[in-house]
């Protein structure tokens, strides 16, 4: 499938749609109407809508933890399948 360009393998943790979602939330590099939360909190004082932004940041944190856990699970599965192949 890779030779037929149906699947693309990259060395990034997030897929392209996930990367676009993070860019939309955190900065305006890809989307003009993005939320730009990274610049808002690094250059200005927090405002009244901090509770809603807190939930957005919590969502991004959970997404990142799930992706890291998925990487560890895939690594363990790969290691176990390689060990099973060596036993045969």
Tens of pLDDT along 23-43? 999 988 888 888 888 888 887
Residue whose entry in the numeric block shows the structure tokens 């290691």: 79
**Structure tokens of 30?**
């890809």
Q: What's the rounded mean pLDDT across residues 10-16?
A: 90
- Report the pLDDT value the prediction gives residue 47, as an integer from 0 to 100: 72
Tens of pLDDT along 67-76? 999 999 999 9
The answer to whether the CB of 63 falls within 8 A of the CB of 20 is no
Position 44 pLDDT exceeds 90: no
- Report the pLDDT value the prediction gives residue 41, as an integer from 0 to 100: 82
What are the residue ranges of helices labelled H in 1-88? 16-26, 37-43, 50-87
How many of the other CB atoms lie within 10 Å of CB of 16?
Answer: 10
Residue whose entry in the numeric block shows the structure tokens 């939309």: 24
Position 22 pLDDT exceeds 90: yes
- Which is more confidently placed, 63 or 9? 63
């Amino acid at each position: 499938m890779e030779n037929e360009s149906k699947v693309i393998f990259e060395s990034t943790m997030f897929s392209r749609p996930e990367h676009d979602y993070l860019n939309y939330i955190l900065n305006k590099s890809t989307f003009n109407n993005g939320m730009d939360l990274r610049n808002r909190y690094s250059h200005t004082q927090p405002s009244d809508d901090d509770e809603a932004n807190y939930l957005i940041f919590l969502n991004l944190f959970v997404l990142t933890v799930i992706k890291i856990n998925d990487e560890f699970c895939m690594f363990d599965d790969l290691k176990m399948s390689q060990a099973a192949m060596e036993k045969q």
